């Protein structure tokens, strides 16, 4: 996290100035009213919160399509200029920009005058924006039904993969992923978000996998990427780590494997991870961003279908997913967890991960916490009998 001493000092100075102005109001008509003082302090607090949390946190608040049109090369733009380049109604732009600035996206310089801040600048990145639209836009229509859905299940934590918030709100018996195959617009949005997530985290993911093999390693089957999409991650691992000898295999559903470019370096196998793992005795079974989509009951099925293929004392399961702290989670991680309720998925704490893995006969050998609860790495092997 960047040094926060400067924004903290500015915040305290703003508060002191507001207090001084408020105190002077009793002897002068030029001072602030208490309502004006509260508004100024609230605005200063929002700016400080943005600096402390980082721009990603604000993506949960609102998403609009203005970012393609705001000229990053200019210090500021007016509502009239934005309306002209966007081909939008002037009053509509004013109303949208009012909402965005209030929640900390863009800065309001004056009447209908705006400038970028860290949050809005980040959202001009089309890849990052695709991720945001996928995270918020895909699930937002269903989250509005969360209160009535929770009431319908007697306010227990969602845990039934066949009766999710998505099933309830969309009035379908299909699971979300099967439903997407029948709705091309939503599938395109979701696929773009997942591609963006992979692109933004690609280098870090390759580095994470590489770190699992600190030394040259030889195995008949070295690495199986379960639910790994089209295998680009393994392609790069293979290229960067020539000292890793053995088969590398990516597994996913037929529609993902069908879209893959054929490669001699990485094999591809059609596989549904709710069915028995067909590759036996691999050194590493790798699951990234798989288990957080599912409740514990479904995760136990996925893990048990993998365990049957493992060799005791040799094979390992590596899970890469968020690992939330037991207390003081970040805003991003906490709200992502609420988002996952749509699928009855969950972002798990360290204790929750240990309980889950232990319940299927695995022993956690290593757990690396990600920054602010994001993308931790868990290594587990079959527990001793």
Identify any residues that bridge with 382 across adjacent strands, giving them in sequence order.
362
* Tokens 């691999």 belong to residue: 282
Residue 190 is classified by DSSP as H
Helices 184-211 and 232-240 cross at an angle (nearest 10°) of 20
Say whether 292 is catalytic. yes
List 116, 271, 283, 292, catalytic entry: 292
Query: For residue 224, what is the enclosing H or E element?
Result: strand 217-226
Q: DSSP letters of 229-297?
A: TT-HHHHHHHHH-TTEEEEEEEEE-HHHHHTSPP-SSSEEEE--TTS--SS-S-SEEEEES-GGGS-HH
Contacts 24+ apart (CB under 8 A), 188-192: 189/133, 189/134, 189/137, 189/138, 190/134, 190/138, 192/130, 192/133, 192/134
Of residues 60, 85, 61, 64, the one with CA closest to residue 73: 85
Residue 361 is classified by DSSP as T
266-290 in b/e form (b: 16+ CB < 10 A) is bbbeebebeeebebeebbbbbbbbb
Distance between CA atoms of residues 327 and 381, nearest Å: 27
Degrees, nearest 5: CA angle 319-321-322: 140
For the beta carbon of residue 46, count every other beta carbon within 10 angstroms: 14
| Catalytically active residues, by annotation | 292
């Amino acid at each position: 996290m960047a040094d926060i001493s400067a924004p903290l000092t500015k915040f305290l100075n703003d508060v002191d100035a507001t207090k001084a102005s408020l105190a002077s109001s009793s002897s002068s008509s030029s001072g602030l009213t208490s309502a004006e003082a509260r508004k100024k302090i609230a605005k200063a607090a929002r700016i400080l919160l943005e600096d402390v949390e980082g721009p990603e946190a604000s993506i949960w608040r609102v998403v609009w399509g203005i970012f393609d049109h705001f000229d990053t090369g200019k210090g500021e733009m007016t509502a009239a200029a934005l309306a002209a380049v966007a081909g939008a109604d002037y009053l509509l732009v004013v109303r949208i920009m009012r909402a965005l600035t209030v929640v900390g996206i863009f800065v309001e310089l004056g009447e209908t005058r705006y400038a970028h801040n860290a949050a809005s600048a980040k959202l001009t990145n089309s890849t990052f924006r695709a991720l945001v639209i996928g995270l918020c836009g895909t699930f937002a229509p269903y989250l509005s039904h969360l209160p009535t859905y929770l009431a319908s299940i007697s306010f227990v934590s969602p845990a039934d993969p066949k009766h999710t918030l998505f099933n309830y709100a969309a009035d379908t018996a299909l699971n979300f992923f099967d439903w997407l195959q029948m709705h091309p617009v939503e599938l395109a949005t979701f696929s773009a978000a997942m591609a963006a997530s992979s692109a933004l985290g690609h280098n870090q993911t390759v580095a994470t996998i590489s770190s699992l093999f600190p030394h040259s390693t030889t195995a008949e089957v070295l690495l199986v990427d379960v639910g790994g999409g089209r295998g680009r991650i393994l392609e790069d691992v293979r290229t960067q780590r020539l000292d890793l000898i053995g088969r590398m295999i990516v597994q996913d559903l037929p529609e993902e494997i069908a879209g893959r470019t054929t490669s001699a370096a990485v094999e591809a196998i059609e596989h549904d991870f709710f069915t028995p793992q067909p590759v036996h005795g691999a050194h590493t079974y790798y699951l990234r961003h798989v288990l957080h989509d599912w409740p514990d009951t479904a995760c136990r099925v996925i893990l048990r279908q993998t365990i049957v293929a493992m060799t005791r004392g040799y094979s390992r399961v590596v899970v890469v997913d968020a690992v939330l702290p037991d207390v003081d989670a970040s805003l991003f991680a906490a709200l992502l967890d609420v988002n996952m309720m749509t699928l009855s998925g969950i972002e798990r704490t360290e204790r929750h991960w240990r309980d889950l893995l232990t319940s299927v006969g695995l022993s956690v050998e290593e757990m690396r916490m990600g920054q602010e609860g994001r993308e931790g790495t868990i290594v587990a092997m079959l527990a001793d009998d």
